């Protein structure tokens, strides 16, 4: 948009919910959320879209609602991607510069990053993010920003995030069918990290654990650099499923039990308290003790924490994480979860709420861990626009109408500049005329002969 106020819209496609969100940035650089809407997600399993139609309907519902609430119209969105197909790897690349004396420019850093998109990966996979960790200029190591330095050889260590092409294409298809276009796809743990982690935590060393409905996302930071990312294919839904099977009750009752009475520590759950669940189709109601419910939750939660622990060890930074663990996402609301995680990992644990970089009245409404990814997508969106100096087509109704009208006029001007193609009908009629003339000539010749 040409106006001073820049807007960004994002969609978080999760296993349990789909969130549409619109935000802007004030003079002090803080994010203000102008509108947020969520709908139940039925077509997504473990972060991967399986039913496109149901996902499209949910996206359309949330987008219409958020546009109505915020008064901001948009045609582009930033979208989060997760799922068990996500994996990460480390790589190193370099470029050799012609002019030794000239300063390294931003374009050369972009060229180095672009080159890393060409590395060999398996068939059916694509590179989602190429994140520079540190740069090396003529054997000078540990350079965080090489712009302005002089040197012949520019090298960098990269953290590369890879995902399946089919999963990304399905997300794009859903957004397109909802009448929008994808501005950029962002890895969800990176977005959540931006929303809930402080700069001090990223410097000291911290693990973000985002427990969603279908997946648990892990991101390890040290010295302000992302060191490791992983997506674990377990989340809050497997706990609900365990409660459903362990107590022989309906899914919706199991979900309510988990939210209202669940605890991650069986030992401190009261022995004498029970909750009554309505029987299925008129049968006798069931009584479930708080203690047995807590033990079901604890056993599955311990399994998830063990995999998180494995990913922390796998990162190679397990002994450097002074800030411990920050848990966020809908699963972080589970009672006594920080205590269980602290006991299992021997690290400091806190719950991450996405109010770290927010301003305005919206802070209270979205002051919940479940909105961490959505808020992070807005922040990553602004970062993307700043980095690549791009604009975003969103704005209040009149302003948006002017913008789209101008875009249409530009397209029409381009079309008008193109030379008009020769019409097919004219070509055909000319051929017919030649045929008719030849026929007349032959007819005259025949008459002469006869």
Percentage of the chain lying above the pLDDT 70 cut = 87
**Band of the pLDDT at 34, cuts 50, 70, 90?**
very high
How many whole angstroms separate alpha carbon 4 and alpha carbon 21? 20
Residue 425 confidence (pLDDT) = 42
Give me the sign of the Cα torsion angle 163, 191, 72, 65: positive
What is the number of other CB atoms lying within 10 angstroms of the CB of residue 421? 6
Domain 87-165 has CATH 3.30.1490.110: yes
Residue 355 confidence (pLDDT) = 86
Among 144-153, 214-223, 361-370, the minimum mean pLDDT is found in 361-370
Class of CATH domain 198-354: alpha beta
246-298 confidence digits (pLDDT tens): 999 999 999 999 999 999 999 999 988 999 988 888 888 899 999 999 999 99
Residue 433 confidence (pLDDT) = 62
How many whole angstroms separate alpha carbon 253 and alpha carbon 415? 59
In the structure encoding, which two tokens stand for residue 357, read together?
């970089």
Residue 362 confidence (pLDDT) = 62
Residue 197 confidence (pLDDT) = 96
229-246 confidence digits (pLDDT tens): 999 999 999 999 999 999
How many whole angstroms separate alpha carbon 222 and alpha carbon 185? 24
Domain boundaries, the chain: 87-165, 198-354
Residue 446 confidence (pLDDT) = 55
- Determine phi and psi for 153, rounding to 5 degrees: -120, 125
Residue 400 confidence (pLDDT) = 75
Q: Residue range 415-427: average pLDDT? A: 49
Residue 444 pLDDT > 60: no
How would you classify the pairing of strands 274-277 and 286-289? antiparallel
Residue 418 pLDDT > 80: no
167-223 confidence digits (pLDDT tens): 999 999 999 999 999 999 999 999 999 999 999 999 999 999 999 999 999 999 999
320-341 confidence digits (pLDDT tens): 999 999 999 999 999 999 999 9
**Band of the pLDDT at 374, cuts 50, 70, 90?**
very high
User: CA dist 145 to 134, 188, 270, 379, 386, Å?
Assistant: 8, 25, 55, 21, 16
Residue 414 confidence (pLDDT) = 56
Output the pTM of the full model.
0.85
Q: Residue range 96-115: average pLDDT? A: 90
- Of 208 and 29, the one with more pLDDT: 208
Q: Residue range 95-115: average pLDDT? A: 90
Region of residue 266 (phi > 0: left; psi between -120 and 50: alpha; otherwise: beta): alpha
Percentage of the chain lying above the pLDDT 90 cut = 72
Q: Mean pLDDT score of the chain, rounded to an integer?
A: 88
Long-range pairs for 110-119 at CB < 8 Å and ≥24 separation? 112/154, 112/156, 113/158, 116/91, 116/158, 116/160, 119/91, 119/93, 119/160
């Amino acid at each position: 948009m040409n106006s001073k106020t820049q807007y960004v819209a994002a969609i978080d496609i999760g296993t349990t919910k789909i969130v549409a969100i619109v935000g802007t940035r004030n003079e002090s650089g803080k994010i203000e959320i102008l509108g947020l809407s969520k709908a139940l997600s039925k077509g997504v399993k473990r972060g991967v879209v399986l039913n496109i139609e149901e996902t499209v309907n949910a996206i359309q519902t949330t987008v219409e609602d958020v546009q109505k609430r915020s008064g901001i119209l948009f045609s582009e969105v930033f979208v989060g991607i997760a799922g068990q197909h996500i994996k990460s790897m480390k790589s190193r690349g370099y470029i050799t510069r012609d002019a030794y004396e000239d300063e390294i420019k931003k374009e050369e850093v972009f060229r180095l990053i672009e080159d890393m998109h060409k590395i060999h990966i398996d068939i059916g996979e694509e590179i989602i993010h190429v994140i520079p960790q540190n740069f090396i200029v003529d054997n000078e190591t540990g350079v965080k920003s090489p712009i302005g330095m002089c040197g012949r050889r520019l090298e960098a260590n990269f953290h590369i995030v890879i995902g399946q092409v089919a999963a990304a294409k399905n997300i794009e298809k859903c957004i397109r069918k909802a009448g929008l276009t994808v501005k950029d796809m962002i890895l969800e743990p990176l977005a959540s990290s931006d929303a809930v982690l402080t700069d001090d935590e990223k410097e000291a060393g911290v693990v973000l654990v985002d427990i969603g409905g279908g997946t648990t996302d892990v991101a390890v930071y040290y010295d302000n650099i992302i060191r490791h990312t992983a997506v674990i294919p377990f989340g809050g839904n497997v706990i609900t499923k365990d409660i459903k099977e362990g107590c022989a009750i309906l899914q919706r009752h199991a979900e309510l039990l988990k939210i209202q009475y669940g605890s991650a520590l069986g030992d401190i759950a009261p022995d004498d308290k029970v909750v009554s669940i309505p029987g299925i189709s008129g049968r006798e109601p069931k009584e479930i003790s708080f203690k047995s419910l807590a033990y079901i939750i604890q056993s599955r939660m311990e399994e998830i924490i063990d995999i998180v622990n494995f990913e922390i060890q796998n990162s190679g930074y397990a002994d450097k994480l002074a800030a411990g663990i920050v848990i966020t996402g809908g699963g972080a609301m589970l009672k006594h979860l920080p205590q269980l995680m602290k006991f299992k990992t021997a690290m400091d644990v806190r719950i991450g709420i996405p109010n770290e970089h927010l301003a305005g009245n919206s802070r209270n409404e979205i002051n919940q861990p479940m909105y961490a990814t959505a808020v992070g997508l807005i922040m990553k969106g602004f970062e993307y626009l700043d980095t690549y100096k791009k604009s975003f087509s969103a704005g209040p109704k009149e302003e948006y109408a002017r913008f789209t009208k101008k875009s249409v006029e530009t397209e029409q001007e381009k079309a008008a500049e193109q030379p008009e193609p020769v019409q097919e009908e004219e070509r055909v009629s000319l051929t017919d005329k030649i045929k008719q003339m030849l026929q007349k000539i032959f007819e005259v010749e025949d008459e002469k002969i006869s």
